[in-house]
């Protein structure tokens, strides 16, 4: 493929070898060769990042798996929508937040490697986390267990705490922005991008965010703080453990959202079997008034840890309680088998002399005399 930086891009047709312009097309889009009509896929290289395969598409843009040709490693490359490239203020904000995010080295925050602009599009290069998202797990499993939910909540809270210490809030915590390296390690993605999208939405007079998870204060254009992220995390955990978002209605109307969020349902109304400790933490995170939520991430982490310890202790107690009858039953079964075996052996020994005598008598009767 030939390329002239952010200008025209040309690929050779694999069928006839003629040049085919791919300028302005997204990676992996199909384009017909003007000479022979052959359909070919658009290839893209952004600086030193060769796009390998698509991973997903969202409101901010598209995410691709790419190979860093300089360091020879795979990365995630997020291409922002083209309309974001035309505003210098947005660009400056994106670069500022990307620099701050790149400075955060935390096991529960997706690492940002670089940002740039090429072919008229902004891109963000990040650590490749390919274990799926919390959104995927909810879709596959319908809901996750209480212990799993608390563990995810703890990990995300610790990641958000580290970001806050660096001066960042997220503004778009939701299941799709919580990724997994494996089944146990959660990582938060897309710091900074939410600010860019929110600012763009405000200029258009819109409320930006996912209705299920957005904090009520955004609906009144009140300045958001870390407790707004705390609300969104609570709404995310509520959905993950109950299998349903806080409210079922799909609406973008600010007035309707305000009404719905002013009186959130308690977690135990949706999931009666959930522990009181867990319900108390989540319900507090979802208080409509930001001042009524946890006052710090330290406080939230302490509450989540206490709930986790209580649930774990109850599960262990339950296993122990059911374990004793099981062990007793196994012991009784073994004793019964040993008793039956002993009884059978004793019967055999009791009849052995008679059997031996009978065998001897039979032998005498059939013996052949010697002449």
Residues spanned by CATH 1.10.510.10 within the chain?
131-323
Would you place residue 371 in the very low, low, confident or very high pLDDT band (cuts 50, 70, 90)?
very low
Q: Which of 108-122, 139-153, 337-351 has the lowest mean pLDDT?
A: 337-351
Residues spanned by CATH 3.30.200.20 within the chain?
46-128
Selection from 309, 285, 303, 304 nearest residue 149 by Cα: 304
Q: Using CA atoms, how far apart are residues 359 and 352, in angstroms rounded to an integer? A: 11
131-323 in CATH: which number?
A: 1.10.510.10
pLDDT of residue 116 exceeding 90, the answer is no
Q: Which two tokens stand for residue 305?
A: 């840890």
Q: Is 215 left (phi over 0), alpha (psi -120 to 50) or beta?
A: beta
Selection from 52, 24, 22 nearest residue 34 by Cα: 22
**For the chain, what is the mean pLDDT?**
83
Check residue 299 and give its pLDDT: 99
Check residue 341 and give its pLDDT: 67
Check residue 294 and give its pLDDT: 98
CATH classification (class only), 46-128: alpha beta
pLDDT of residue 358 exceeding 70, the answer is no
Would you place residue 355 in the very low, low, confident or very high pLDDT band (cuts 50, 70, 90)?
low
Check residue 192 and give its pLDDT: 65
For the stretch 211-261, pLDDT in tens is 899 999 988 878 889 999 999 999 999 999 999 999 876 666 777 888 888
Check residue 346 and give its pLDDT: 63
Positions marked active-site: 172
Give whole-number Cα distances, 35 to 16, 24, 265, 354, in Å.
Answer: 8, 20, 62, 105
pLDDT of residue 205 exceeding 70, the answer is no
For the stretch 8-65, pLDDT in tens is 478 888 889 889 888 878 788 888 999 999 988 888 888 999 999 999 887 778 999 9
Selection from 187, 191, 184 nearest residue 163 by Cα: 191
Would you place residue 141 in the very low, low, confident or very high pLDDT band (cuts 50, 70, 90)?
very high
Would you place residue 368 in the very low, low, confident or very high pLDDT band (cuts 50, 70, 90)?
very low
Check residue 204 and give its pLDDT: 45
pLDDT of residue 181 exceeding 70, the answer is yes
Q: Which residues pair with 75 in a beta bridge?
A: 66
Give whole-number Cα distances, 131 to 83, 185, 246, 319, in Å.
Answer: 30, 9, 26, 31
Bridging pattern class, strands 39-41 and 30-32: antiparallel
For the stretch 292-331, pLDDT in tens is 999 999 999 999 999 999 999 998 888 777 655 555 555 5
Q: Which two tokens stand for residue 44?
A: 């893209």
């Amino acid at each position: 493929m030939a390329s002239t930086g952010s200008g025209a891009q040309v690929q050779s047709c694999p069928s006839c070898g003629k040049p085919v312009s791919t300028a302005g097309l997204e990676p992996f889009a199909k384009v017909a060769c003007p000479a022979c009509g052959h359909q070919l896929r658009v290839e893209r290289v952004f600086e030193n990042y060769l796009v390998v395969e698509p991973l997903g598409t969202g409101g901010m843009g598209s995410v691709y798996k790419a190979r860093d040709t300089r360091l020879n490693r795979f990365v995630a490359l997020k291409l922002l929508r083209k309309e974001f490239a035309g505003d210098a203020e947005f660009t400056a904000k994106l670069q500022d937040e990307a620099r701050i995010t790149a400075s955060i080295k935390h096991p529960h925050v997706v690492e940002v490697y670089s940002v740039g602009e090429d072919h008229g599009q902004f891109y963000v290069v990040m650590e490749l986390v390919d274990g799926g998202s919390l959104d995927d797990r909810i879709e596959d499993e319908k809901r996750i267990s209480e212990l799993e939910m608390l563990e995810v909540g703890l990990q995300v809270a610790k990641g958000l705490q580290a970001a806050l210490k660096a001066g960042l809030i997220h503004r778009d915590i939701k299941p799709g922005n919580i990724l997994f390296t494996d089944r146990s390690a959660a990582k938060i993605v897309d710091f900074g991008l939410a600010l860019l999208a929110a600012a763009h939405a405000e200029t258009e007079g819109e409320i930006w965010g996912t209705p299920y998870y957005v904090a009520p204060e955004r609906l009144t254009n009140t300045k958001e703080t870390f407790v707004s992220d705390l609300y969104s995390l609570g709404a995310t955990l509520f959905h993950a453990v109950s299998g349903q978002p806080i409210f079922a209605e799909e609406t973008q109307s600010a007035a309707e959202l305000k009404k719905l969020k002013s009186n959130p349902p308690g977690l135990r109304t949706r999931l009666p079997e959930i522990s009181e400790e867990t319900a108390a933490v989540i319900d507090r995170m979802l208080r409509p008034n930001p001042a009524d939520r946890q006052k710090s991430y330290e406080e939230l982490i302490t509450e989540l840890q206490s709930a986790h310890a209580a649930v774990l202790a109850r599960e262990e107690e339950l296993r122990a309680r059911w374990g004793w009858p099981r062990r007793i039953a196994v012991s009784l079964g073994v004793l019964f088998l040993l008793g039956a075996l002993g009884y059978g052996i004793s019967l055999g020994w009791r009849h052995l002399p008679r059997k031996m005598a009978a065998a001897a008598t039979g032998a005498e009767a059939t013996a052949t005399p010697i002449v």
